[in-house]
Structure 1
């Protein structure tokens, strides 16, 4: 009995040892195959990099909103094709975060994860993220009063472009016009703020009381004059619309398809000559041919 038990024990040990050896060989083979696949992928990646020159570009590590302080934890380095690097992208961490600068950069425009960090989307180190940072050289900020109708039902966002229409009364001495007129006075004017919100991170529609636009001094003068003499209405321009709007002017007559009403021609009354005669107690006028 003991011999049988010993034999069974020996057979079990042999089978267990064989199973361990088989499992070890399988794991070893799997690791070798995995290492071979990794080496093949690395070689393929090196071949692609050799075929397409790549360089380092810093992208957002997380979603960033207007006003967020940009730190080194918010960006990461990725390989980017050299011939497809966006303008203003940062390829050097020392340029994005200068070591001699202790002040932070602030996000000006929303960025999604893995989006390239561009110079126009962040401020310079220590620069304020207010409206002045969004004004190009020679441009001025000007506020326009709006309501639910003139403000495109509250769907305006900073960064949009609008056409500005003026509606008001025109004196008869100006261009021979008279009455109320609606005229397109400015096209493709960029919005930089809606009420006191300068970022584009708005949820839903906002019924604003004012919108702020970036305009040249000449445009500011025209908009100020138009706002003080009439009503301004905004029309939202599509993001990919590169057309140039033609001059537009509509008055009541052109709206209804009517031409100018000419004054009626006076009618000349036919001259009638008569003579007056008495017939008893009655006086009668009798028509006769006119000699003159």
Structure 2
């Protein structure tokens, strides 16, 4: 074995020994533990399911959920006991925290339709039937026009008149149903309809329902246009879809009867129209 070969083998052994020592030390050195800073969290009272406006909160409406402290809404309640018995001022979605802004003043312990009425308006109930309610397709949240068939005492004959007197009126409730259950294909025939109106509109509806017969016409939610009508009476109704009278032909001679008169030696012809 030559001298150069011995030198190369010696260097390889030394390098292997150094590498082994380094690996051994690395294995003996404890791994650095990554310290994760714990983010503070809070528990808040949230809606267990969708809650409609005007609902008086009960235990089954609520649950507790965990939130990051930095993302918790200001004023949110930490326990369900703080909000049980309060009334929801606006609709709350499932999982949404309850805050004072979502609730009616804490001195108010009532709920139902009264909290759903917009300021400046009133809720008025009208007795209905399947015809008035369009076979039950009128649901809470819909908008309707109100028509009345009433006698117009200013007329001598044919006093009955039908006229649209109110339009785009919001339906607050149908019977005891304050929010629509199911989809639009389901029906809910009831006997009472609660409408939201201004005080002036309440007076119009009260008179119309007391002195005449009212009907609802259901509006498309996107239809906001105001439609002014003249109303309809019996004579105008009876002339609808009637054929137009045939015009007389120009130059056509009217049928007549000719009479010849003889007086002495004179003769004349007289014609008489039939």
- TM-score range, shorter-chain basis? 0.5 to 0.7
Look up the match of 1:69. Answer: 58
Matched ranges for 1:130-279 at <5 A: 130-171=112-153, 173=154, 178-201=158-181, 204-257=186-239
- SS of 2:63's partner is helix
Gaps of 5+ in 2: 1-44, 241-274
- SS of 2:205's partner is helix
Structure with the larger helix share: 1
User: CA, structure 1 residues 109+161, in 2 after alignment: closer, same or farther (shift >3 Å)?
Assistant: farther
User: CA, structure 1 residues 209+72, in 2 after alignment: closer, same or farther (shift >3 Å)?
Assistant: closer
Taking only aligned residues, the RMSD between alpha carbons, in angstroms, comes to: 4.3
User: CA, structure 1 residues 122+178, in 2 after alignment: closer, same or farther (shift >3 Å)?
Assistant: farther
CA offsets, 1:28-87, max 9 Å, x none? xxxxxxxxxxxxxxxxxxxxxxxxxxxxxx985534455553766267769xxxxxxxxx
CA offsets, 1:202-227, max 9 Å, x none? 67312111101122221111111111
Whether contact under 8 Å (2:133, 2:189) holds in the other structure is yes
Gaps of 5+ in 1: 1-57, 79-89, 259-292
User: CA, structure 1 residues 111+101, in 2 after alignment: closer, same or farther (shift >3 Å)?
Assistant: closer
Mark the structure with the bigger radius of gyration.
2
Alignment length (residue pairs): 193
User: CA, structure 1 residues 116+95, in 2 after alignment: closer, same or farther (shift >3 Å)?
Assistant: closer
After TM superposition, the score normalised by the length of structure 2 is: 0.55
CA offsets, 1:208-259, max 9 Å, x none? 111011222211111111111111101112222221122341223333436x
Write the distance in 1 (CA, Å) between the matches of 2:235 and 2:100.
51
After TM superposition, the score normalised by the length of structure 1 is: 0.52
Q: Among 63, 73, 86, which residue is 1:105 paired with?
A: 86
User: CA, structure 1 residues 232+195, in 2 after alignment: closer, same or farther (shift >3 Å)?
Assistant: same
